[in-house]
A = this chain, B = another copy of it.
Amino acid sequence: MMLIVLGNTEISLIKGISIAGANPELTKYTPPADVEYIFYGRPKVIDAVPVTPQGHPTPAIITKACWELANFPITVVRAGTFFKPMVPHVHISDEVGRDFRRGKALPNAEEIVELSECLGRELSKSFKRIAVGESTPGGTTTAQAVLWALGYDAKTSSAAPNNPQELKRRVIEEGFRRVGIGFGDVNDPITALEEFGDPTLACIFGICRGFKGEVVLAGGTQMLAVSALLKASGVGLERFKIATTRWVAEDKSATFKDTARSIGVDYWVAPLDFSKSRYRGLRDYERGYVKEGVGAGGAVYLAEESGFSSEDVFKKVEELYSLLQV
């Protein structure tokens, strides 16, 4: 079972911070469009597959490839998005994360966490293990803010090859000034989520607390923040493992491996290689575009368990790409 948690944060509307959409305004549509693409082959909420401004398709293409190969169940969870996904989905909230430079990011953090814990508890009755991915434009910045608030000197990856670290830093520092805190000044996970988080982080944190079994945290940067939140709340990390892509793990503009080690969470790296793709849109993954998202790394993990190699996944991704009009 893979959950794909959808969230929006106003942070993605800041110019230059997210390329999870052809322009900042379009990042509002990306989470529902991602899962609609997986289920139906094309989005419904908007008439185009999410792309970067340069036209690189959403990493949902990797998740979809693994899903079509290995046929694992997917449950979509709306943690808090601008638009309702046009697929059956678990409703947690329809409120998006706010721009944390101007006010609390997530006044309803506690409510999201509680509902998500309840969801996690119920899932425990049916599943020994779950994987959890997400689609959240701007989510690496909120994740980094949460990590800094909790005292982890992390640089998070970006879907852009030129990681806008300087801009992320300025935005986060502006948020810290609003609250009147400095690096590492927050101990309480709910406070970190309320002040700097987003619906996705709160929801996955809650699911992980409620669920009793093993969890594959399918993602890079944001799953580090979830791990740090869990640790801060006293949850042991033995039953959690991050599954991400090579492009995140090897990202020199970020600190994935170091941060994972300092939090003390295990990780697995999907050995995807798109360098021989027929399509520039996929070859560009090797140049730092896109990298991860929509549970791509974790989906490869599930596909490998079902006997499909990264090469099989790559071939399926090529096939799906050929069906896209990008």
A interface residues with partner B (beta carbon < 8 Å): 1, 39, 71-75, 78, 84, 86-92, 115-116, 118-119, 122-123, 125-127
What's the Cα separation between A211 and B88 when bound, in Å?
14
When the two chains form their complex, are residues B39 and A73 in contact, meaning their CB atoms are under 8 A apart? no
Chain B residues lying within 8 Å of A119, measured Cβ to Cβ, are 88
Give the chain B neighbours of A116 by CB distance below 8 A: 88
Instruction: Judge whether B118 and A88 touch: CB under 8 Å.
Output: yes
Q: Determine the distance from Cα of A92 to Cα of B88 in the docked complex, in whole angstroms.
A: 6
Q: Are B73 and A118 in contact (CB under 8 A)?
A: no
Given contacts A87-B115, A88-B119, A91-B89, contact A72 B125 (CB under 8 A): yes
Given contacts A126-B126, A126-B127, contact A84 B91 (CB under 8 A): yes
Whether the pair B89, A122 counts as a contact (CB closer than 8 A) is no
Output the nearest chain B residue to A73 by Cβ-Cβ distance.
B125
Contact between A122 and B73 (Cβ–Cβ < 8 Å)?
A: yes
Determine which residue in A73, A115, A118, A119 has the highest number of CB atoms from chain B within 10 A of its CB, and name it.
Answer: A73
State whether B122 touches A75 (Cβ < 8 A).
Answer: yes
A126 to B, closest residue via Cβ: B73
Residues of B within 8 A of A118 (CB): 39, 87-88
**Extra inter-chain contacts (7) besides given A73-B125, A86-B115, A90-B90, CB under 8 Å:** A39-B118, A73-B123, A73-B126, A87-B115, A88-B91, A88-B92, A88-B118
Question: A89, B90: Cβ atoms under 8 Å?
Answer: yes
The residue from B71, B91, B125, B127 contacting A78, defined by CB atoms under 8 A apart: B91
Nearest Cβ in chain B — how far from A202, in angstroms?
Answer: 13
Residues of B near A127 (CB, < 8 A) are 126
With both chains docked as a complex, state the minimum distance between the C-beta of A37 and any C-beta of chain B, in angstroms. Answer: 14
Measured between alpha carbons, how far is A125 from B119 in the docked complex, in Å? 19
In the assembled complex, which residues on chain B have CB atoms less than 8 Å from the CB atom of A74? 122
In the complex, the chain B residue whose C-beta lies closest to that of A118 is B88
**Closest chain B residue, CB of each to CB of A115:** B88
Residue of B nearest to A72 (CB): B125
- Greatest chain B CB density within 10 A among A1, A74, A90 is at A90
For the complex of A and B, the 10 pairs showing the least CB-CB separation, nearest first, are A73-B125, A88-B119, A91-B91, A73-B126, A73-B122, A88-B115, A88-B90, A88-B118, A90-B90, A89-B91
Do B90 and A1 touch (CB < 8 A)? no
Q: Can you show 8 pairs from A to B with CB atoms below 8 A apart?
A: A73-B126, A78-B91, A86-B115, A88-B90, A88-B115, A88-B122, A90-B91, A126-B127
A71 CB contacts on chain B under 8 angstroms: 125
Select from chain B the residue with minimum beta-carbon distance to A123. Answer: B73
B residues near A87, Cβ cutoff 8 Å: 115, 118
Identify the interface centre among A72, A73, A91, A126: most chain B CB within 10 Å of its CB: A91
CA separation between A92 and B84, bound complex, in Å? 10
A72 to chain B: which residues have CB within 8 Å?
A: 125
